[in-house]
Structure 1
Amino acid sequence: MVNKASLETLFGRILKDIVPTKSEIDDLNEYSNELMGRLKAVMPKDVEIILAGSVARGTQIRGKSDIDIFLLFPKYLEERKMEEDAIKLAKKAVLKSRGESYEINYAEHPYLKLKNEKRGIYADIVPAFKIRDSSERGSSVDRTQLHNIFVLENLNDRQKDEVRILKYLLQRHNIYGAESSRHAFSGYLCELLMAHYKSMLALLEGISSSKLPLFIDVKANIELSGASVPKEEQRRFNSPLIVIDPTDQNRNVAASVSSESISRLMLLARNLLSNPSESAFYGFKYSDDKKASQLSKFVKASGLQLDALCFKLSNISEDTLWPQLEKLKNRIEHEADTNGLNITISFSRIESGMGTIAILHNMQKLGIRRIMGPDVTIRVAADEFIRKHGGQMKISVDGTRLVALEKPKYIDVNDMLSKIISDKKFLFTKDIKKSQCKLYSKNIPVQYALVVYHGIAERLNI
């Protein structure tokens, strides 16, 4: 039986630590208003400037309150021209004399990320088209203005605080974030789940007992799971979690959430309901202190060998680099599988401009392989087998079948990774270069050891 009082007490204690302080809110409001004023001064009069995101909706967490400002242009403008003008004008609002700098990142529209390191404030300045409903434009960036309206109209102050608790819970368990690399729950998805379930307790109870796929239509107040989800909806969205955007019935807000992330939330919900404690809420705790030695200690205890490809990445958006790093990891896994090498755990990760593909594997070494060929009476196939394997060790016959003894292409995983780096035929990706890559098996540099350590801690704990 769920101890509702214990859960509410736990959530109350946590909320005190994550609600932004009055001074933090005042500072953000002052800065965002001043920045919006600067933008208004350089933008055409028909451009509407709005505050969006968690700060505007009142669901931000203490210390993580980045500002989202949207520049809403008239929709009759040509898209590329609008983007170019917006970025060009937005740059004029950045004041280096006040310690501000910027970089240009890319999503569905390019946007300017302003940084004020002195005050610890970051702001995304995003161009979009002003729309009344989703039928006017297809971009999720353009729909953000509609998301603001829906959330503000459908969440009360208590529910906004519970969104903060949900976000923080997901952060603690590494399943929060809109970045494509995370396959996790975005802030807007958290807000929609709260709008549907109405409370944190109901959300945990609902998720804990669901089957996959889970289908939620917030606007229509419909929830279906497992076999009850219509086949046409399963085919249309092809996702373990389907949460229909109330501002666009053709969009699944949870499209990027992986089966692993929703499964982790299910287990987390069950654990919290049965054990409403801080240890269940906060989960596994690890220290960044002595990360290299901690990593070495884990590898030694596991009995596995660790090989890590480490990259100093280009100054390009993580949303662009991540799919390339993941694609490269998948190609390496395929190469290992094709050549008889077994990988126990592998993951890719990006942090602070550094990327890693880490592979943990048994310390197997491959020897000569015995390859069975066709029956000698099947002349064409037999001739082809002899042609293909004639360069190996001597071919013999076992009964009526040809047999070849073949040397392995790679002795072990480390040998494979070393050869991949030097093999001109094994291509990396457009923005992840071999010249940026180094292979480490021991004495991983501290900055990369931290990235690998975080990845292992996340993969092996729920």
Structure 2
Amino acid sequence: MLEAVLSRVRPSPLERDRLKSVARKIVSRIEELADARGVEGEPMLVGSAARGTWLSGDHDLDIFIGVSEGSNLSSALEIARRVAPNFEERYAEHAYVHAIFEGFEVDLVPCYLVEDGSKILSAVDRTPFHSRYVSARIRGREDEALLLKQFMKGTGVYGSELKVGGFSGYLAELLVIRRGSFISVLEEAAHWRPGEVIDLEDHSSREHEDPLVVVDPVDPGRNVAAALTLDRMFTFVAASRLFLEEPKLDFFFPAPVSPLSDDELRDQIAKRKSTLILLEFEAPDQVEDVIFPQLRKAEQSIRALLDRNGFSVMRSDVDWHRNLPLGGGERGGSEWRGLLRIFLELSVASLPRVERRIGPPVWEAEHSKKFAASHPYPLSGPYVEDGRLVVETTRKFVDAPELLRSQVANLSVGRHLGPQLRRGYKIYVGQEILEVEDLEFRAFLARYFSAREWV
């Protein structure tokens, strides 16, 4: 069975030759631009493409442009801007260029050429050390890395970006280097517990508090698994156990999720009989790893608001959708940035107007006095129940959507999302969600309603 997986994920000789050809052209272009301007700029192919551990069909290249420690990264950035006409400038810890070159998506990243991976000037400076470390140890095990990466991809735990909170490619490769094979990695992972520590070089004494700690062999103070969430870690653990018990191709290649049709969405609403609420607003012009932590913060702030006011949230999720609506159509202005969506499912969305407020024990005289004074016009009370003061008052908000419309723009949701919310948003409730037709959102709903992992 594993050979059948490899036949689908191992790049063909033609694919490898094509990637090498494009990489050589980009490297040569960078060298020409650097020479013409009389500036230093050492191009380096890094990442899985450099190590032969990339999955078939992935047309992504990471090419770093190194400058000496005393230089300015701006010269390398200027070269990156001129490599391809189709590019955009992005920003992580510092600016880099994302370009399209002969059908490949290419990240052109300025970095410093430091001598020690533990003495970096910016986070990307350690990446060339990662590439050299893995390349020297992964030879002969590339297929094992491909199997592990596809297994992680199929079970939804691959990707260290903050949207996913999963395993990076580098982390997967280190696990293969440590254990030697895909199956051996799964056998070890099946017994992981929170706080697991893996140190390939036995050279770290630093304490970490992450669910999984994999000490970076080129920078002992860093945890390679720092982005991995507890849920993603144990989704992988559970999937490893199940696969070892009963191997199936579905672990690697799950059935694709189809966007919900109107009838399917109506059916879900009718079956669940909960209250579905969608908050939608325009995304700011920021990269994904800036947006998603703030989007999760907004989700938690909204849940806390609803909980404080007596509305029970059963489940929620968020996403960033950039697809066109069903049937096509043009997006104008800044709509290319897409829409941020916070989806909430409430067990209770409407409450009675009367609300009980439970106060302090009667024997706490001063607190009792303040409590009574803070409710001068109750519907009933104050009276004593189980030794405490109780009043029944008029609830300000009896409807969850009404509460959201009144308060959501004032919540703490992050420095980039706050201004966007205040510029405008839409709230859809129940059947109104049918008005949102774009395919990405309908696929998101399909995944939400059929949530099931290999556990």
Correspondent of 1:169 among 140, 151, 154: 151
Q: Give yes or no for the alignment of 1:55 onto 2:49.
A: yes
2:286 maps to: 316
The residue that corresponds to 1:184 in the other structure is 166
Q: CA deviation at 1:362?
A: 1.2
Q: Which amino acid aligns with 2:78?
A: K
Partner of 2:334: none
1:336 alignment partner AA: L
Q: For structure 2, which runs of at least 5 residues remain unmatched after alignment? A: 323-337
RMSD: 2.4
- For the Cα contact (< 8 Å) 1:356–1:451, is it kept in 2? no
Partner of 1:333: 303
Deviation at 1:291, TM superposition (A): 4.7
The answer as to 2:425 corresponding to 1:437 is yes
Secondary structure at the aligned position of 1:135 is classed as coil
The 2-side partners of 1:397 and 1:455 are apart by 49
Query: After superposition, what is the alpha-carbon deviation per residue over 1:247-268, rounded to whole angstroms, capped at 9, x for unaligned?
Result: 0111100001011011000110
Match of 1:104 in 2: 89
Aligned amino acid, residue 395 of structure 2: P
- Whichever residue aligns with residue 183 of structure 2, its letter is L
Instruction: State the shift of 1:214 in Å.
Output: 1.3
CA, structure 1 residues 455+102, in 2 after alignment: closer, same or farther (shift >3 Å)? farther
Q: Partner of 1:142 in structure 2?
A: 125
Q: Residues 170 and 410 from structure 1, CA distance in 2 versus in 1: closer, same or farther, beyond 3 angstroms? A: farther
Q: Pick from 110, 121, 135: which aligns with 2:104?
A: 121
Match of residue 77 from structure 2: 87
Give 1:354 shift.
3.0
From 348, 367, 386, the equivalent of 1:381 is 367
CA distance, structure 2, for counterparts of residue 212 and residue 428 of structure 1? 29
TM (norm. structure 1) is: 0.85
1:37 pairs with one of 28, 31, 46: 28
Q: Which structure: greater helix fraction?
A: 1
- Give the aligned partner of residue 270 of structure 1: 241
8 Å contact kept, 1:196–1:221: no
Q: Deviations over 1:53-78 (max 9, x none)?
A: 1111111111113010001110122x
TM-superposed deviation, 1:25? 2.2
Q: Which residue of 1 aligns with 2:179?
A: 197
Name the aligned partner's letter for residue 210 of structure 1: W
- In structure 2, the residue matched to 1:256 is 227
Relative to 1, partners in 2 of residues 1:246 and 1:141: Cα closer, same or farther, differing over 3 Å? same
Residue 109 and residue 455 in structure 1: after superposition, are their counterparts in 2 closer, same or farther (change >3 A)? farther
Structure 1 residues 11 and 437: CA distance shift in structure 2, 3 A? farther
Contact kept, 8 Å, 1:349 with 1:455, in 2: the verdict is no
Q: Give the conservation status (yes or no) of the 8 Å contact 1:42–1:90.
A: no
Identity of aligned residues (%): 25
Q: In structure 2, the residue corresponding to 1:108 is in which secondary structure?
A: coil
**TM-score relative to the length of structure 2:** 0.87
Deviates more, 1:325-334 or 1:286-295: 286-295
Q: Aligned in 2, Cα 1:375/1:207: closer, same or farther, shift over 3 Å?
A: closer
Aligned match of 2:379: 393
Deviations 1:82-105 (A, max 9, x none): 23332223212223xxxxx11122
SS of corresponding position for 1:272: helix
What secondary structure, in the 3-state scheme, does the structure 1 residue paired with 2:402 have?
A: helix
Matched letter for residue 152 of structure 2: L
Q: 1:282 to 1:31 in 2, by over 3 A?
A: closer
What letter is aligned with 1:413? A
Query: Which piece of structure 1 moves more, 312-321 or 358-367?
Result: 358-367
**Contact 1:241 1:262 (C-alpha < 8 Å) held by counterparts:** yes
The equivalent of 1:73 in structure 2 is 67
- Per the TM alignment, residue 293 of structure 1 is displaced from its structure 2 partner at its CA by 4.2
Number of residue pairs matched by the alignment: 427
Q: Deviations over 1:176-201 (max 9, x none)?
A: 11211211101111111111111011
